[in-house]
Every structure is written in structure tokens, then in C-alpha cells.
Amino acid sequence: MEPDLHPAARLYAREHLDGALSRREFLARATSLGLTAAAAYGLIGLAAPTPARAQEEPQTGGTLRIQSDVRALKDPRTYDWPQMSNFSRGWLEYLVEYQRDGSIAPMLLESWEVNEDATRYTLRLREGVTWNDGDPFTAADVAYNIRRWCEQNVEGNSMAARVSSLIDPETGEAREGAIEVADDLTVVLNLETPDITLIAGFSDYPAPIVKEGASGDPMENPVGTGPYLPEELTVGVKAVLVRNEGYDWWGTEVFGGPYLDRVEYIDYGTDQAAHFAAAEAGEVDMVYESLGEFVDLMDTIGWTKSEVVTANTLVIRTNQQAEIEGMRPYEDARVRRALAMAVDNAVCLELGYADRGVPAENHHVCPIHPEYAELPPPVFDPAQAIELLQEAGMAEFEHELISIDDNWRRNTSDAVAAQLRDAGIPVRRTILPGATFWNDWTGYPFSTTDWAQRPLGVQVLALAYRSGEAWNETGFANDEFDAALTEALAIADADERREVSARLQTIMQEEGVVIQPYWRSTFRHYRPGVIGAEQHPTFEIHVYQLGLAA
């Protein structure tokens, strides 16, 4: 596709040159609507890098040990943690891949085209890709996966939120005519309503591509298009990938690699002190994420630090549908607003994350998102918070704030609880180990959850706050919000979408849906000589890029 023929690309170029977009967000938006990264860079007068190839060519062979949570796998469309996907990326690949520079690159797709109102997507598959069992990868496989993603009634299937424009609301499945297999290498998607986020959603970690007919845990029959195979998965202990020597990986000519013979994910729990000790002792070669004081400590052992400024965050949220002793304490917006009003987000950033980020505004749209609308900052007024609780008859109610037992999420939750107590609001803290916390993370009445970055703000709002979605842990259901979100998903122009985003952000604040205190920079350390391990804004580990210096 020629870049000067794409109206959205012309619009994005104009906005970027006018200073309305960062380069990262420009690249995310332009590439998601069909421009190649090279064409997108060209529109802003830059030469495109080659993001998939390492700057230094690694040696072939070797083992890389990564500190990471090791979680059980399940049906990929129900993945609810990036660590699951980082392991299965060894053999299950994606249609597209989100890059560190913000662009969306083709992977199993060679290209895609989007019509002007984002209601028709033409997906063109890469030629010559085979499954590791020898069968060709075809459009039928892609259609099968998208149909599965549309199955709204499958518990935990968050992909349904990403493909809602393809779903028949009466059946909860793919709408008739929504998914067309045009030929062996072409799939056409016909959307009921415009949706500019579709391709970006295909890059998200619950979207790995399985072979037609596959279902359930991919460990049971590890057929995929990637260059590795799973050798071991012991939950909470260790997961191992080994090079699939009997498979001629299609991606070598395109991306380079794979380089390593073996990748080991080793679980040291959630205590950063244990992660640091493992690094210092030479038991691991890279960590999943460096946090808090350990960012500086990791620097002292001579490891390389990689940092990205992100839209990663956490929310301290109430569940509006939760019942406690026969009542729903958080269905009253006055209670929710009071909790938010009693918390100073800057204090949460300082005490919970050592000021390694910027304060947020309780609406889950980040300044780096193109549709971000600047609103007045949240009101911090503990006295008014008590008045609201008294008005709601909830001034004496004791809240139980639940968090995982780690450092930054626990510390941030402690900072929130301390401020609530300072305001005169009764609150007790419950801290759970990770294995327990994540068993019921959407069901707690009042708890803390971290959220990864998505390229567009409306993606996050659709995943987390639209009525009835699998990841809607707040129980928020608001017709006005849902209608405005549908409107926003159809608008490619950032300035126009920003007007609708302002309404969405305002509703979030006025309804007290979440306390969302800060946006955090994220860090990863790895020992010298490791290649391809830089921190990714959504914590992805692209195993085919990993290697060791010669």
C-alpha cells in the first residue's frame, strides 16, 4: 500500500508534525491501520530501524536463564498474565507484534489493509509458513482463531472484548458474514461497527494463534509455528523451552534467529530480594522486571539496565457488584468517590513506587495515549470524603483492602490504606501470596490490580470497564459510558476521539470507578553479553530474538 494513498496516514502525519502526537503513538496508530513501519517512519522523515533483528548478531547456541513467575497454561484466549504468553511464545506466535518503538509489525500476517471507516479489514498471510507438524499455515487457521475469540460466553475469554465488532450480540458468537476466507492466504473481516483497535488487539498477549481444531491447554499438544518446544512446566518452579531441531522455522529469513538452544524461566516468588540474590549469585541471566530500590541495587552488580516510559499502572478498585453481609457497599457512587477523594495520588507514587513515574488521574487514559484529554486533577479533600460517606450512611463501615504480597503493589496499597485511616475511614489490610491472590482477582470487593499498557486508551477502557467484559473487575455497568466508548472506537482522528475520551474520562472520575494513582516507568536488568533482552512496554519476551554475544 502506498503511504500517500492512506487518508488516515496523511492525517497522522499532519498531527505529528503539528506536535499533537509523540512518535511512539504516531507509529502505533499508523501501523495499526495498515502502514508498514518503514512507510510510517518515512512520513515523519526518519529511516525505519529493523526492530526484530538484534544490533549485534548473537552466537548460535547456549542457554539463557530468566527470572520470571511460572504459571500454569490454559486456553490462550483466557490468558490473564503476560508470563503465560512469554513461555508459550516459544511455539505459539501472533498475527502481529507490538514493538518497543510503538509500531505494530507483521508476523504471521505479511500485511493488512483497512478501509477508510475501519469497518473492513483485509488480512494477508505470510507465504511459506508451516506448523511444526508439517501442515501449511492457512487462512482457515486464522479464521478459526478469530471465531474462537468471538465466543463471548467462554469464561475468561477476554479476546471477545477486542473483537466485539465481529460478534452477534444475540448469539454471543461471530456474526454471520463477519469472517470471510477469501483464499488460502487472505481473510476479510466485516465489522458491524467501526473499530480502529482491532489490529492492536491482535498483538495482545491472549491472542497467540493455535492450529485449526486446537483447544485447551497448549502444553497438551504443542503444535505451533514457533521455533521452540516446551520441555518442562512446573508451576511456581521452572519452565523450559528447547530449540525444535526437527523444524525449519519460517522466520529465520525474515527476523534472524532463533539463536539459543534452551530458554529457562525460573520462579523465585514475588520477593525482589530473592530476584536480586539470584542475579548476584549468577543463577539467572536476566530478570523479568526490576522494581523499587532493586533498580539501583541491580546497577551495582554491573548489569545492563533497560528502561521504558509506559502506560503501565495499577488500580485500587471497588467491585460495585460485590456483596458483603447482604449489602453492596460499593454500588453507591458516593462511597466510591469518597475513597478516591481521601487519597493523594502523588503520595502513592512516592511511597509505593519511589517516584519512578508520574501521577495519574483516576480515569485510566494515559498522557501518552493519543486520545488523552487533559482534565482538572482529581480532588483531594479528606473532609469532603467523610461528608459523602456520612451522607451515604457508610461512615462507620470497615473496608478491607486486599493486595498481592510483593513490594510495589503491597506498598502502594499500604499508602492508600494509611491515607484512608488518616481521613477517618476504617480500613484493614489483607495481603495474599500471589498463588492465592490471582485465583479470584476479579471477585474481590476492594483490591489492587496492575494493568499493562495498550497502544490506545480506548483499548483499555473497552477491556476493563465496558459492561459485562471478562476483565471488568469493577463491576461497572454504565449505558452512557458504553455508548460513548462505542462512538470513540469508530473515530480514527485523534482530535475528534479526544472529545469523546474527555467524556469517558469524566464519567470515570465522577463515578469513582477506580483510584488510579500513577503511570510507571518499568525496568529490566540483564547481565552483559545477553542480546535481545531489553524491557518491552508490555513485558513481552520475544524468545526468537534472545541470544548470547559471541
pLDDT for 435 equals 78
Which pLDDT band holds residue 440 (cuts at 50, 70, 90)?
Answer: confident
Which pLDDT band holds residue 300 (cuts at 50, 70, 90)?
Answer: very high
pLDDT for 368 equals 85
Residues 96-116 have a mean pLDDT of 91
Which pLDDT band holds residue 495 (cuts at 50, 70, 90)?
Answer: confident
Residue with grid cell 457512587, as numbered in its chain: 333
* Phi, psi for 427 (deg, rounded to 5): -155, 140
Alpha helices, DSSP H, located in 321-466: 333-341, 345-353, 382-391, 408-422, 434-437, 457-464
pLDDT for 351 equals 95
pLDDT for 24 equals 60
Half-sphere exposure of 179 (CA within 13 A, CB side): 21
pLDDT for 20 equals 42
Core vs surface per residue 230-261: b (16+ CB within 10 A) or e? beebeeeebbbbbbbeebebbbeebbbbbbbe
CATH entry, 310-521, from 3.10.105.10, 3.20.20.140, 3.40.50.300, 3.30.428.10: 3.10.105.10
- 460 pLDDT exceeds 80? yes
Residues 469-479 have a mean pLDDT of 95
- 8 pLDDT exceeds 60? no
pLDDT for 2 equals 37
- Cβ contact 132:230 at 8 Å: no
First to last CA, the chain: 39
pLDDT for 270 equals 87
Question: What is the per-residue pLDDT across 214-248, written as a single tens digit (0 to 9) for each?
Answer: 999 999 999 999 999 999 999 999 999 999 999 99
More confident residue, 57 or 347: 347
Counting Cβ atoms within 10 Å, is residue 378 exposed (0-12), middle (13-18) or buried (19+)?
buried
Beta-ladder partners of 188: 122, 180
Residues 127-153 have a mean pLDDT of 97
Residues 6-21 have a mean pLDDT of 45
Residues 262-268 have a mean pLDDT of 98
pLDDT for 47 equals 57
More confident residue, 428 or 27: 428
Q: Among 30-39, 316-325, 517-526, which stretch is predicted with the lowest mean pLDDT?
A: 30-39
Q: pLDDT over 90 for what percent of the chain?
A: 79
Question: What is the per-residue pLDDT across 46-68, written as a single tens digit (0 to 9) for each?
Answer: 555 554 444 578 999 999 999 99
pLDDT for 55 equals 56
pTM: 0.81
Alpha helices, DSSP H, located in 265-423: 272-280, 293-299, 333-341, 345-353, 382-391, 408-422
In angstroms, the CA 415 to CA 412 distance is 5
Q: What is the DSSP letter of 500?
A: H
In angstroms, the CA 302 to CA 304 distance is 7
User: What are the extents of the domains in the chain?
Assistant: 1-49, 310-521
Residues 177-204 have a mean pLDDT of 95
Residues 262-274 have a mean pLDDT of 95
Q: Among 15-29, 102-116, 229-243, 488-502, which stretch is predicted with the lowest mean pLDDT?
A: 15-29
CA 33 from centre of chain = 19
The 3-class secondary structure across 163-209, one letter per residue, is: CHHHEECCCCEECCCCEEEEECCEEEEECCCCCCCHHHHHCCCCCCC
In angstroms, the CA 211 to CA 200 distance is 21
Measured CA to CA in angstroms, residue 506 lies from 11, 277, 462 at distances of 27, 45, 16
Cell of 260: 539459543
Q: What is the DSSP letter of 135?
A: P
Strands 228-234 and 238-243: what pairing? antiparallel
Residues 76-82 have a mean pLDDT of 95
Which pLDDT band holds residue 524 (cuts at 50, 70, 90)?
Answer: very high
Q: pLDDT over 70 for what percent of the chain?
A: 90
Which pLDDT band holds residue 19 (cuts at 50, 70, 90)?
Answer: very low
Which pLDDT band holds residue 550 (cuts at 50, 70, 90)?
Answer: confident
Q: Among 38-42, 197-201, 335-339, which stretch is predicted with the lowest mean pLDDT?
A: 38-42
Residues 478-488 have a mean pLDDT of 96
The pLDDT mean for the chain works out to 91
- 175 pLDDT exceeds 70? yes
pLDDT for 35 equals 65
- 348 pLDDT exceeds 70? yes
